[in-house]
Structure 1
């Protein structure tokens, strides 16, 4: 890659990041002001009153912003796929059809999918299983970086398709690469995020917080460059056994809506 062009890209990314950091600082002040004053009771006491339970919360004090670029698949990459039919869409999406479909013993067994993706997918160890859709006979994997999941980024995922015999016959893949790590940032704690969710009425009485994990969501998408912000993922089971999922910016505390068809993450007001 031409060094002068690379330097210009890095300068541009840093400029974008600086602008966002300043806006996030202002947003964090605003978010803090929006949180409902809970009176003399602690958030733990309020949760107890509403019978909202949770297990031991993770302790992660700092994490960096990241940036990465969308991989453009080259001819050499495609040649790695033996006995597979491969096409490339928009230079960045592989569509791979298996000449001999791979049987999955149990469509709901994550282990079977993990074995497949590691054996048959380009850089397969970079992905983790996110969702199994029995009705549509698909399984979706999200890319991971530094052992943390990148949530709902269309440029970093694998989607596999199964036939009626529970065999994987095709998959689609996108990949992020060339990650840059920025300075460590102080994070809001999980209990602070839970307080924000509670103050907004998002946590219903008699529900259980089943999972709290730190990952990344997309802060901004340029044509080739992506910037990612540390994000708390909170999974909740309601009294009616409904599964709910929330994501919150781990630095500024805003609840965000991450969807695959979005180019920017929406902030929920």
Structure 2
């Protein structure tokens, strides 16, 4: 009887260990990822980055440069004005685009990607636009179209969404975009500036054209390198992609962080943070 009792207790202990291990290895779901973004924002606004639960070997980069969180331009932010937050439990990423205000009253636009691995943040990738081109008029409030659910009959699969955006970035290189991938009404915004269907956008000289036509060649940009898909959300028709965009032989290169809204298999809107600098060679991330 004692042996049976001991064996039973041993199996119970093993079962508890297995359940505990499974729970600790469980994917951080949408609610968990949203909470991580909320806690990150609160810590950065409160000037307490040490409260953020980073993995021991966490990689942190801002505008491609390796930093510590205490060195981030986030430390100058005093208020969040609007935000769009997206999650992908399969990839373990939560990504947000935030319009915020600095102590001087200046509006800045921030893209932040947090990658969760085993309950801790493994990667922090920040795209921080504090340039004069940030246009608060089209950022506050954040356009609600990005968070609307796509009707089931109009949804694309993860594979279809990935194919559309992979082709989009290929079009930035060969300037042969696939017309069927674009809604004729598609608009692209750069840090709040509408650069399509707007001949006086002040950012590009494509004229009064849509997303498809603006990528038709010849163009001064290309190739797009280090293309990464950071997030796919079929329910909301969202894909977020990253790339380093070259401008011929010029030392100027742009790090791109783009949120795509896709409805019925076509790109309907693009929210881009594109940071132009000289000498960028890599984002520092490979996936």
TM-score normalised per structure 2: 0.30
- TM-score of the two chains, using structure 1 as the length reference: 0.32
Structure having the higher helix fraction is 2
The structure, 1 or 2, with the larger RCO (C-alpha pairs under 8 Å, 6+ apart) is 1
